[in-house]
């Protein structure tokens, strides 16, 4: 059972890395700024997911702390960037 779980966690990690590459490609080749911003939001969500998978692989809770910090930073940056793109000012 544990062997199956190990293989499954590695397959899940590789799948999330591929999805992260797709999102980064969409950020580079988006058709307008908002589409790139949606891709950035997707990429940051997948970053949090990859950190959680690494915490499962290493059996270490430290990476969940890093994921919490990354979630807070990506939330703030996406909100501020969307306001900046639509209104041309932040505050």
Partner 1 sequence: METVLHILALILLVLGTALSLIGVIGFLRLPDVYTRLHATGKVSVFGLVFLLLAADILTPLATWKALLLIFFVLAASPAVSHAISSAAYRAGIPMLGKRDDLKGKLERGKEKDA
Residues at the site binding partner 1, with contacts judged by CB under 8 A: 1-2, 4-5, 8-9, 12, 15-16, 19, 22-23, 26, 32-35, 37-39, 41-42, 45-46, 48-49, 52-53, 55-56, 59-61, 64-65, 67-68, 71-72, 75, 78-79, 82-83, 85-88
Q: How far is the CB of 1 from partner 1 (least distance, A)?
A: 5
Within 13 Å of residue 7, how many CA atoms lie on the same side as its CB? 3
Contacts of 65 (CB under 8 A, 6+ apart): none
**Can you read off the two tokens belonging to residue 71?**
């979630």
Q: How far is the CB of 75 from partner 1 (least distance, A)?
A: 4
- How many whole angstroms separate alpha carbon 6 and alpha carbon 64? 19
Element (H, E) at 1: none
Q: How far is the CB of 58 from partner 1 (least distance, A)?
A: 9
């Amino acid at each position: 059972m544990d062997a199956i779980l190990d293989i499954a966690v590695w397959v899940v990690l590789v799948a999330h890395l591929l999805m992260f590459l797709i999102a980064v490609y969409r950020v580079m080749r988006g058709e307008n700024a908002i589409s790139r911003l949606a891709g950035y939001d997707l990429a940051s969500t997948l970053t949090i997911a990859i950190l959680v998978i690494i915490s499962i692989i290493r059996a270490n809770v430290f990476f969940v702390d890093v994921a919490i910090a990354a979630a807070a930073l990506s939330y703030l940056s996406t909100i501020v960037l969307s306001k900046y793109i639509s209104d041309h000012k932040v505050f």
